[in-house]
């Protein structure tokens, strides 16, 4: 089902490249904020951003939302947004950078392997590697999540995962390759056009009941057309995303809804998605 939304300016832009992380400066009444660097066994380094409920009674539901591109996600959070979900714990999975995005790292971590030789250089941008999503999801599940949840004052009962653009594609890749590790999935403007619609092809090869039970909220804008050579070219909501929504909705055990932001370009859907995502994860 499509949930209507207020129009979003098509001219809306992402903030500057540097992450200001203003939410860490003034304190938040509902959540205790912290961050820490994690060195994984294979040498990759990540930065965890945590927002832990202060009120233990409010946190009784024991829900947590994992947010990919954690630097950018926490840069966009506000005390007002967190006040809407006083019992929800948030964990940003970010990078050791002062920037909102580590573009090389996310290109590697959030793109699915194309073949057994991946990761390997991106043909479009050889300075970047692609195809490391399965390795990243393995790190997320086996190393990053346990370390994050060790910081929480409760045993987690419901896990959700959010991501935008390439990270939104990685959210779906996580569902397809490691079902059952999350209960709820929030892909926002997922880059399903990537590598000639590779993820749509992968979905078609998955048995109808193989994904188990999951709740999914997909969000996208209706003005995400790009002019870059490697980007999508269409008018209106991304057809590949609408096709994925249709397919997933036909699977047993999958409950899927979607929200289209009127007038929103690709950049604008990240901040626009935060309130619905937090409420979806906290419900």
pTM of this structure: 0.92
SS3 assignment, position 175: helix
Question: Given 224, 240, 258, 273, which residue is catalytic?
Answer: 224
User: Considering the chain, what percentage of its residues have pLDDT values greater than 70?
Assistant: 91
Question: Given 5, 107, 165, 189, which residue is catalytic?
Answer: 165
pLDDT reading at 269 higher than 90: yes
pLDDT reading at 84 higher than 80: yes
pLDDT reading at 4 higher than 70: no
Cα–Cα distances in angstroms (integers) from residue 280 to residues 47, 186, 192, 225, 258, in the given order: 24, 9, 22, 27, 12
Maximum Cα interatomic distance, the chain, rounded to a whole number of Å:
51
* Cα distance between the two ends of the chain: 18
Q: Rounded mean pLDDT of the chain?
A: 92
192: confidence class by pLDDT, cuts 50, 70, 90 = very high
Question: Given 63, 164, 258, 266, which residue is catalytic?
Answer: 266
Q: Delineate the domains of the chain, giving CATH numbers in brackets.
A: 2-282 (3.40.50.1820)
Q: Please indicate whether residue 63 is annotated as part of the active site.
A: no
pLDDT reading at 9 higher than 50: no
Q: Please indicate whether residue 258 is annotated as part of the active site.
A: no
Kind of pairing between the strands at 31-39 and 45-53: antiparallel
Q: Please indicate whether residue 273 is annotated as part of the active site.
A: no
């Amino acid at each position: 089902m499509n949930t209507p939304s207020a129009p979003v300016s098509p001219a809306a832009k992402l903030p500057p490249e540097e992450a200001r992380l203003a939410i860490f400066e003034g304190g938040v009444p509902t959540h205790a904020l912290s961050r820490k660097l994690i060195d994984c066994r294979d040498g990759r380094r990540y930065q965890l951003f945590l927002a832990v409920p202060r009120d233990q009674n409010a946190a009784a539901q024991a829900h947590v939302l994992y947010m990919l591109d954690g630097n950018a996600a926490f840069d966009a959070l506000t005390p007002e947004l967190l006040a809407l979900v006083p019992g929800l714990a948030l964990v940003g999975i970010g990078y050791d950078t002062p920037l909102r995005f580590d573009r090389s790292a996310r290109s590697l971590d959030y793109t699915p392997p194309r073949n057994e030789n991946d990761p390997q250089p991106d043909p479009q941008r050889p300075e970047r590697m692609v195809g490391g999503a399965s390795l990243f999801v393995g790190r997320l599940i086996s190393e990053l999540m346990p370390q994050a949840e060790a910081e929480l004052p409760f045993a987690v009962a419901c896990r959700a995962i959010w991501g935008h653009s390439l990270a939104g594609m990685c959210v779906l890749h996580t569902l397809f390759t490691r079902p059952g590790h999350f209960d709820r999935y929030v892909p926002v403007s997922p880059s399903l056009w990537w590598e000639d619609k590779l993820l749509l092809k992968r979905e078609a090869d998955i048995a109808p009941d193989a994904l188990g039970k999951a709740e999914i909220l997909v969000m996208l804008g209706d003005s995400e057309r790009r002019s870059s050579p490697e980007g999508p070219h269409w008018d209106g909501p991304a057809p590949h995303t609408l096709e994925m929504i249709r397919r997933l909705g036909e699977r047993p055990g999958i409950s899927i809804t979607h929200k289209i932001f009127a007038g929103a370009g690709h950049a604008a859907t990240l901040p626009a998605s935060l309130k619905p995502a937090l409420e979806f994860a906290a419900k």
